Amino acid sequence: MEEHPHLPHLQEELAALNERLLAMGGLAEDAVRLSIVGLAARDSAALTRVLTGDTQINQLHIDIDTRCFTLLALHHPLAADLRLVLAAVKINSELERVGDLAVNIAGAALRYIAAPPVKPLIDLPRMSELAQTMLRESLDAYVRRDVALAARVCERDDQLDELKTTVFRDTLVHMLADPTCIEAALQLVLISRHLERIGDHATNIAEDAIFMVSARDIRHQAPAAALEPGAPGR
Amino acid sequence: MEEHPHLPHLQEELAALNERLLAMGGLAEDAVRLSIVGLAARDSAALTRVLTGDTQINQLHIDIDTRCFTLLALHHPLAADLRLVLAAVKINSELERVGDLAVNIAGAALRYIAAPPVKPLIDLPRMSELAQTMLRESLDAYVRRDVALAARVCERDDQLDELKTTVFRDTLVHMLADPTCIEAALQLVLISRHLERIGDHATNIAEDAIFMVSARDIRHQAPAAALEPGAPGR
């Protein structure tokens, strides 16, 4: 299909799309970092900033969705380009959720710091760093089409699960020793679950990157064969 | 654009896509129901079925993704049809997560029933019914393009949040009264969070349905105007 002479080139549009996904990923990562730094520093101003600061992420979410739609409607990208746009649609949703989770962490952290500290926080900052790294690397893997990096992100998810289990056991010990700290300690368990989910979203992004790079290319099949009952893709 | 003579009609393909999304929604809803019924009945066989039974949902997830890709590559749907396919891509991800959450609930429920019951379960079954209804209605809203129904799903989410808060407070009372039940009671809190997230996914589906029906139709604009800097859609 010929392109409309007034249309910007597809490749430029795809590059602009990737730029915005990276910007959104950066904002989401910042929000996660700030929520855990605010928790560790018992800094309610920082936590309140996370609580109220997801407007920019939400605007990018809508902007990226609209760009994907426009790209598909006007350029009819095929094969690798089509997979890139579909991956962008999905990654966009993942990043928006990460932003929501940072807000959830900030909310739980504000409830946590309303009471005396339950224990020194060591594993939650570790979980946060790991989740942030996974997020950054999954987006790098997508932009650079780096399947090996994407696979490494998926492997890191086990480390995050182990840390989550450590937080659970450790917090339980404190709850049993001092029931007055149960309510605050529960917030730490919930925060660890939010961080675990951020890791899940990074894993999903990495999987989208792998699909984008390695999926079977239906453009190289005759349409009739591609749609035959029983053929892959049916 | 003329269609390839061997291609099935776009409308048939879209109908087949919706059928599969409904089937997947049904499976996801069944898994959620079974996980909570298994919890209430302390039925480890039922819970184990949920733990190991998400293969069908995962297969549908891949099948639906492949169909969306093929549809976009071969039919270049526009406007309302394109929005339908993009909504399907997103709803497919939401439903897969709901399946994962049912598995998470079943895992937590197995840990819960390994100890004596903490309390009669009233609010969790209520939360589950509400989440299942939201899921069913959000898919109905998508298939029937019913914006009013989709809006009602979004409103119900507040009820789910209230029930979650009730579960939290109620469980906390039991933990404080009897610290030996803390570990089991924690599982109930986590299950309530999983159910809350199922409601979030239903809300996302409802929002996708609303976008699909009510979004501005870029097909009725000249491409140059649609891509002018500052124009909506940029």
pLDDT score, position A214 = 79
Residue B219 pLDDT > 90 = no
8 A C-beta contact, residue B213 and residue B113: no
Percent of chain A with pLDDT over 70: 88
Q: Are A73 and B82 a contacting pair at CB < 8 A?
A: yes
CA B215 vs CA A69, A128, B83, B233: distances in Å: 11, 37, 8, 11
What does the alpha-carbon distance between residue A38 and residue A49 come to, in Å, rounded to a whole number? 10
pLDDT score, position B7 = 64
Enter the tokens of residue B152: 């009602």
What does the alpha-carbon distance between residue A97 and residue A9 come to, in Å, rounded to a whole number? 31
Cβ-based contacts of A83 with chain B (< 8 Å): 69
Other CB atoms within 10 A of residue A202 CB: 32
Q: What is the pLDDT of residues A105-122, one digit of tens each?
A: 999 999 999 999 999 999
What does the alpha-carbon distance between residue B177 and residue A41 come to, in Å, rounded to a whole number? 32
Residue recorded with tokens 């080139």: A9
Please work out, in degrees rounded to the nearest 5, the angle formed at the alpha carbon of residue B225 by the alpha carbons of B224 and B228: 85
Element (H, E) at B125: helix B123-144
The arithmetic mean of pLDDT across residues B175-187, rounded, is 95
pLDDT score, position B215 = 67
Confidence of residue A5 (pLDDT cuts 50, 70, 90): low
pLDDT score, position B218 = 35
Residue B233 pLDDT > 50 = no
Say whether A112 sits in a helix, a strand or coil: helix
Residue B229 pLDDT > 50 = no
Instruction: Please give the single-letter amino acid code of residue B150.
Output: A
Of A8, A90, A186, the CB nearest to B189: A186
Residue A54 pLDDT > 50 = yes
What mean pLDDT is reported for chain B?
Answer: 89
Using alpha carbons only, how large is chain B's radius of gyration in Å?
Answer: 21
Nearest to B24 by CA among B65, B80, B84: B65
Residues in Cβ contact with A163 at an 8 Å cutoff, skipping those fewer than 6 apart: A123, A126, A127, A130, A192
Query: What is the number of CB-based contacts under 8 A between chain A and chain B?
Result: 116
8 A C-beta contact, residue A190 and residue A101: no
Nearest to B112 by CA among B57, B191, B230: B191
8 A C-beta contact, residue A47 and residue A39: yes
What does the alpha-carbon distance between residue A186 and residue A219 come to, in Å, rounded to a whole number? 52
The C-alpha of A4 sits at a distance from chain B's nearest C-alpha, in angstroms, of 8
pLDDT score, position B231 = 38
The arithmetic mean of pLDDT across residues B56-69, rounded, is 94
Using alpha carbons only, how large is chain A's radius of gyration in Å?
Answer: 21
Cβ-based contacts of B63 with chain A (< 8 Å): 234
Enter the tokens of residue B25: 């929604």
Q: What is the pLDDT of residues A76-93, one digit of tens each?
A: 999 899 999 999 999 999
Percent of chain A with pLDDT over 90: 85
pLDDT score, position B39 = 98
Residue B227 pLDDT > 50 = no
Say whether B6 sits in a helix, a strand or coil: coil
The C-alpha of A213 sits at a distance from chain B's nearest C-alpha, in angstroms, of 14
pLDDT score, position B6 = 60
pLDDT score, position B232 = 39
Q: What is the pLDDT of residues B12-31, one digit of tens each?
A: 999 999 999 999 999 999 99
What does the alpha-carbon distance between residue B228 and residue A188 come to, in Å, rounded to a whole number? 48
**Range scoring the smallest mean pLDDT among A29-33, B91-95, B165-169, B216-220:** B216-220
Residue B58 pLDDT > 50 = yes
pLDDT score, position B128 = 98
Task: Kindly report the pTM of this predicted structure.
Answer: 0.88
Confidence of residue B4 (pLDDT cuts 50, 70, 90): low
Question: Residue B39 CA to chain centroid, in angstroms?
Answer: 20
Of A70, A172, A215, the CB nearest to B218: A70
Nearest to A111 by CA among A27, A194, A197: A194
Enter the tokens of residue B197: 């997230």
pLDDT score, position A45 = 98
8 A C-beta contact, residue B32 and residue B109: no
Percent of chain B with pLDDT over 90: 85
pLDDT: is A218 or B129 the higher one?
A: B129
Cβ-based contacts of B211 with chain A (< 8 Å): 65
What mean pLDDT is reported for chain A?
Answer: 89
pLDDT score, position A49 = 97
Q: Which residues of A touch B (CB under 8 A)?
A: 1, 4, 6-8, 65-70, 72-74, 76, 78-79, 82-83, 86, 89-90, 93, 168, 172, 175-176, 179, 182-183, 186, 189-190, 193, 204, 215, 218-219, 223-224, 226-227, 232-234
User: What is the interface pTM, i.e. ipTM, of the complex?
Assistant: 0.86
